Structure 1
Amino acid sequence: MIIYTPNQHWFKDIGHLARSWTMIKVMRAVLMIGAYTLVVTLVHNYIYEWSLREVSGLFSLLGIVLSILLVFRTNSAYDRWWEGRKQWGALVNNCRNLAIYCDVHLPQNDKMTKMIIARDIGNFCLAFVEHLRSGTVVEELKGLSDEEIALYKSKSHVPNHISKQIYQTIHDAYKDGRITGEDLRNSHLMHKALLDILGACERIKKTPIPFSYNVYLKVFITAYGLLLPFAMLTTLGFWTIPAVMFVFFAFIGVEMMGEEIEDPFGLDCNDLPTGLIANTIRENVLHLMDVPHEHWEKVPEKPYEKVF
């Protein structure tokens, strides 16, 4: 995710467009429509004169309709992005709450159980990040023995397995009399919230914008861009080229920005910083449960892709 300070660096923020993969795709499409408009303009001026000036008002009406569709498109995409951010904010809170609750209610001399719970909460978040991308990489989880790594690799849903391990550890403490039944019920609510958040993010990930709507909007934008030069040639002449490029830039740019943020858990430059959030949760939990620093393993942050 691009981190910036609002209302401070106007031209610096605009300059970042040159390094955005989405904007590079937009500019490629704009240059293609510009080349097409140039050809249409040359043919109109030197070979055959054509014009759709009589129906130019129709293009204004279609532009309004297209704008309304794009507003709906971007609002839907941003709702998914914001819902994802709220879920990860809830994950932060519930992981901290669970760590504090376990640390306080477990016996103070039960350091091993606290270390296991802290490790598993941190690994749950790390596994969660990659589960929403291309799949959990077990070797990137921390504090596991060779037997545990082999066991994790045999699981098709690693975050689910880790959440089961967390609850199993808490339940074992209850059976051994280290925590009370009330403690078990209270910790269950916080543990349940982790799976609720996991399910909500999977819903966002696995339910994209309907394909037919997505394709229809692309066809609409493409057809509008291809026909627009004919409605402007007689009035604008060679100025039709920059005019069409500017209109196409506005429409296709909004569409591609919506495409980028509708899946907020990847590694595009405007996706959520889930890796950073997971590392923050892990460090917070290790601090809260007083895990000695010699048991910490630094987790390298993956760079965002598609940023030049």
Structure 2
Amino acid sequence: MVQYNPKDWITFIFRFHKSDTFRQLIPMMITIGLYSYAVAYLEIEFWKLSDDSHVKNITVMHGMVGFVISLLLVFRTNTAYDRWWEGRKHWGALVNNSRNLALKLSAYLQEEGDRNYFRKLIPNYASFLQKHLADEETALMLIEGLDLELDHHKHRPNQIAKMLFQKANDLYTSGKISGDQLIVINAELQSFTDICGACERIKNTPIPYSYSSFIKKFIFIYVMTLPFGYVFNLGYYVIPVVVFIFYVLASLELIAEEIEDPFGDDANDLPTKKIAANIKKHVEEIL
């Protein structure tokens, strides 16, 4: 995730980060510019259309549908940001629940072996959840510090959660914690799977294809018809104007596409690796 100072306007204006939509859209912007030049040349030099041509009235359509396209893009970006923010809230809950579980176990457990088990396994849940959501495939993995293996062909977070529940039950049956204490830590243990399921719902339920496809087609048709009407008022200056309008509209769609899946490796995705590392640091401090 990009770290930045929101008050540094100069940096925002004059610096182009690798994740900026400008770089991604340069080929299409050049194409749109050449297309706009061709339309302007045909209308001004070849066809020599007069100012009273009916083609000039096409701008009326742009005025009417411009409001519609703005509403669609606002809904699109808001929906994508809601998914990004919901993912951040779930990972924030994972941080808090990992700390709470570690704090309670720190008070309950006396044997160093039991404390070490949870010291290693709790942070590993966050780490494997991050890999699971990012679709990072690895071979059969060993959990550092413990004689335990995970099979990547199976649901890895579920395997960790099962080990945590099994260990908690073993502590209860061996008399190391009471039934009331088991009930107290059960909420945090259960929350891990709840958070995993919520994150999987975000990842596996993208914006419907028909909606996303319609917006792209709408933007394309809207931009491609702009030069025909505005050439009469702007002349060849229609080229930078149309390119800029395309850049703004297409950038909103690209931004929405990037943040609607917040668990990848894009520059604006959630810093899940860093969050998992913080969980490891805090749990080890507590236990």
Q: Which residue number in structure 1 is paired with residue 18 of structure 2?
A: 19
- Kept in 2, the 8 Å contact 1:84–1:264? The answer is yes
In the alignment, residue 267 of structure 2 is paired with which amino acid? C
Match of 2:121 in 1: 120
Q: CA deviation at 1:112?
A: 0.9
> Which residues of 2 match residues 39-58 of structure 1 at below 5 A?
39-49=38-48, 52-58=55-61
The 3-state SS of whatever aligns with 1:247 is helix
Cα distance between partner residues in 2 of 1:135 and 1:204: 17
* Structure 1 residue 154: Cα displacement: 5.6
Q: Secondary structure at the match of 1:250?
A: helix
TM-score normalised to the size of structure 1?
Answer: 0.87
Secondary structure at the counterpart of residue 4 of structure 1: coil
Query: Which residue identity lines up with residue 261 of structure 2 in the other structure?
Result: D
SS of residue in 1 equivalent to 2:148 = helix
Identify the residue that residue 97 of structure 1 maps to in structure 2.
Answer: 100
Verify: 1:63 aligned to 2:66, yes or no.
Answer: yes
Q: 3-state DSSP class of the match of 1:100?
A: helix
For 1:76-155, what aligned pairs fall within 5 Å after superposition?
A: 76-107=79-110, 110-137=111-138, 142-143=143-144, 148-149=148-149, 152-153=150-151, 155=153
Give the letter aligned to residue 3 of structure 2: I
**In 2: Cα distance, 1:159 partner to 1:170 partner:** 17
Match of 2:6 in 1: 6
In the TM superposition, residue 28 of structure 1 has moved relative to its aligned partner by 2.9
- Inter-partner Cα distance in structure 2 for 1:132 and 1:22: 25
Q: Distance in 1 between matches of 2:16 and 2:249?
A: 16
CA deviation after TM superposition for structure 1 residue 136, in Å: 4.9
Segments of structure 1 that go 5 or more residues without pairing to the other structure are 290-308
CA contact (8 A) 2:139 2:152 kept: no
How do residues 219-234 of structure 1 correspond to structure 2 at under 5 angstroms?
A: 219-234=217-232
CA distance in 1, matches of 2:219, 2:231: 19
* 1:150-171 C-alpha deviation (Å, 9 max, x unpaired): xx12651001100110111111
Q: How does 1:196-207 map to 2 (within 5 A)?
A: 196-207=194-205
Which residue identity lines up with residue 100 of structure 1 in the other structure? L
Structure 1 residues 227 and 13: CA distance shift in structure 2, 3 A? same
Q: Distance in 2 between matches of 1:136 and 1:253?
A: 31
Tell me if 1:36 matches 2:56.
Answer: no
TM-score, normalized by length of structure 2? 0.93
Question: Which residue of structure 2 lines up, in the alignment, with residue 301 of structure 1?
Answer: none
Q: How many residues align?
A: 283
Give, as a single letter, the amino acid of the residue that structure 1 aligns with 2:160. I
Secondary structure of 2:261 counterpart: coil
What's the CA shift string for 1:222-268, capped at 9, x where partnerless? Answer: 01111111011111110100111111111111111111100011111
Match of 2:154 in 1: 156
Write the distance in 1 (CA, Å) between the matches of 2:14 and 2:204: 34
Give the 3 Å change call, closer, same or farther, for CA 203–246 of structure 1 in structure 2: same
Gaps of 5+ in 2: none
Aligned-pair distance for 1:14?
A: 2.8
Q: Percent identity?
A: 39
Letter in 2 for 1:98: L
CA distance in 1, matches of 2:65, 2:76: 16
Give 1:46 deviation, angstroms. 2.5
| Alpha-carbon distance between aligned partners in 2 of 1:164 and 1:186, rounded to the nearest angstrom | 17
- Partners of 2:221 and 2:211 in 1: CA distance: 15
Q: Which moved more, 1:173-182 or 1:112-121?
A: 112-121
Partner SS, residue 200 of structure 1:
helix
Q: Find the aligned partners of 1:260 and 1:212 in 2 and give their Cα distance.
A: 18
Shift of 1:148: 3.0
Answer yes or no: is the 8 Å Cα contact 2:90–2:195 preserved in 1. yes
1:176-195 aligned within 5 A:
176-195=174-193
Deviates more, 1:23-32 or 1:280-289: 23-32
